[in-house]
Amino acid sequence: MKNKPAYALGSVDNVLLLLHMLRDQGRLKVSDVARELGIARSTAHRLLVMLVYRDFAVQDEHHTYLPGPFFASMQAATGGSALRELRARTRPAMEALCARAGETVNLTIRVGTEVRFLDSVESSQILHVGDRRGTILPARHSSGGKVLLAALPADQLRELYPDLTDPEFAALARELDEVRVRGYALNIDGTEQGVSAIGAALRDRHGTPVAALSISAPSARFGVDRVAMFTKELRLAIAEAEQALAGLDV
């Protein structure tokens, strides 16, 4: 797990988060940026103007900012429009889940042996897991990554982890077998001390896992009784999100 630098530069962090927003959302207004980053509209406008200057963004006739030339080849290579649609369609279910569970909710996809966080809905509690957008974690240690790995056949899983010893691979396979039986995966302090999560797979209309939803919470609030509640609410959110995904090709 990456730790935030001790002397983090807030302005640089805001620019990097803004790039993630452009990539994942596709269309931004000054008010959207100000609200999501918690900065003044004037500051948000200055950041966007600089991104336009450096070709990371372009502005249309409606004063909306879109990904610029820098993103063009990347979008073609990674299916960026489909990911934006995935994010947009799952967002209502994520917000509802956050409200019911009272904890931060994340949307992740698997890229090889890693998972990338596409979106987060932060809990309103004072002590909570923060926004994970743009974060990359090892798939075999994260809850969302485990449920997506569990959908793979054994030979494909082995190809992903050629460096694991036979005992290590056997342990991973056993854990993924348990995930398939339960229908969800747990991450108890596995990627960050003091943070735990539960994740389940989102499937398209063909039944193929395309992403994962997870609930992240401080480990102190992740007792057995709450896991049962999280499981129930997560399954409801998955059903809501999959209904919204009907007809989307990711």
Residue 38 has pLDDT above 50, yes or no: yes
Mean pLDDT on 8-30 = 80
The span from the CA of 93 to the CA of 241, in Å, is: 6
In contact, 186 and 176? CB cutoff 8 Å: no
Residue type, 194: G
Q: Which tokens in the block code for residue 24? A: 């994942």
**Which has more pLDDT, 61 or 221?**
221
Residue 8 has pLDDT above 80, yes or no: no
To the nearest 10°, the Cα dihedral for 207, 208, 210, 212? 60
Instruction: Quickly list DSSP for 25-58.
Output: H--B-HHHHHHHHT--HHHHHHHHHHHHHTTSEE
pLDDT at residue number 76: 44
Residue 72 has pLDDT above 60, yes or no: no
Confidence of residue 224 (pLDDT cuts 50, 70, 90): confident
Confidence of residue 77 (pLDDT cuts 50, 70, 90): very low
Beta bridge mates, 66? 58
The span from the CA of 249 to the CA of 153, in Å, is: 22
Percent of the chain with pLDDT over 70: 90
pLDDT at residue number 141: 95
In contact, 196 and 216? CB cutoff 8 Å: yes
Range from 51-55, 122-126, 190-194, 223-227 carrying the lowest mean pLDDT: 51-55
Mean pLDDT on 216-241 = 94
Helix (H) or strand (E) holding 188: strand 185-188
Residue 173 has pLDDT above 70, yes or no: yes
**Which has more pLDDT, 136 or 169?**
169
Residue type, 237: A
The span from the CA of 141 to the CA of 233, in Å, is: 22
Confidence of residue 32 (pLDDT cuts 50, 70, 90): confident
Confidence of residue 73 (pLDDT cuts 50, 70, 90): very low
Q: What is the CA radius of gyration of the chain?
A: 19
**Which has more pLDDT, 84 or 86?**
86
Residue 159 has pLDDT above 50, yes or no: yes
pLDDT at residue number 70: 66
Q: pTM of this prediction?
A: 0.70
Q: How far is CA 106 from CA 11, 43, 118, 201, in A?
A: 24, 27, 8, 12
For the chain, which domains are there? 10-77 (1.10.10.10), 79-245 (3.30.450.40)
Residue 1 has pLDDT above 50, yes or no: no
Percent of the chain with pLDDT over 90: 50
pLDDT at residue number 71: 63
Helix, strand, coil share (%) of the chain residues, nearest 5: 50, 20, 30
Residue 133 has pLDDT above 90, yes or no: no
Q: How far is CA 228 from CA 103, 186, 232, in A?
A: 14, 12, 6
- Dihedral sign (CA 148, 153, 154, 158): negative
Burial grade of 19 (CB within 10 A; 0-12, 13-18, 19 or more) = middle
Q: Which tokens in the block code for residue 167? A: 């005992």
For the chain, give the mean pLDDT. Answer: 86
How remote is the C-alpha of 119 from its chain's centroid? 4
